[in-house]
Copies of this chain bind each other. A is one copy, B any other.
Amino acid sequence: MKPIARTEQQLGAIIRRERRRQELTQQQLGARIGLRQATISKLERGEPATRLRTLLDALTALGLQLVIEERETAASADIGALF
C-alpha cells in the first residue's frame, strides 16, 4: 500500500507508522540522520513549518521515497487518509 499525504499530519503519521514498523524509537531514527528526538517528535506530530530537509532525511533513513502524482478524487484520497 502506498499512502497519500496531503497534509503535514498525514505525512507525520506515515513516518511514525513506518518507524514503529521498523521498531525504532524517535531517538534512534534521529541518531541516524543527526536530528534530535524532539525534532522527530515535531515532524511526526505534523508541525507545518518543519523543514523540507528534515522530512527528506527522515524518509531516507526509513527507506522511503516520495512520488509525485496527479491528485486523485477527494473520495479515494480520503479513504487512504483514514488509516
Contacts from A to B (Cβ < 8 Å): 2-8, 11, 14, 47-53, 55-56, 59-60, 63-72, 77
Contacts and interface: CB of A to CB of B under 8 A. Distances in A.
B77 A69 contact: no
Contacts of A70: 63-65
Contacts of A47: 52
Contact of A52 (B3, B50, B60, B63): B50
Given A11-B52, A11-B68, A67-B67, 6 more contacts: A2-B68, A5-B66, A14-B68, A64-B71, A66-B66, A67-B68
A40 to B, nearest CB: 14
A42 B74 CA distance: 29
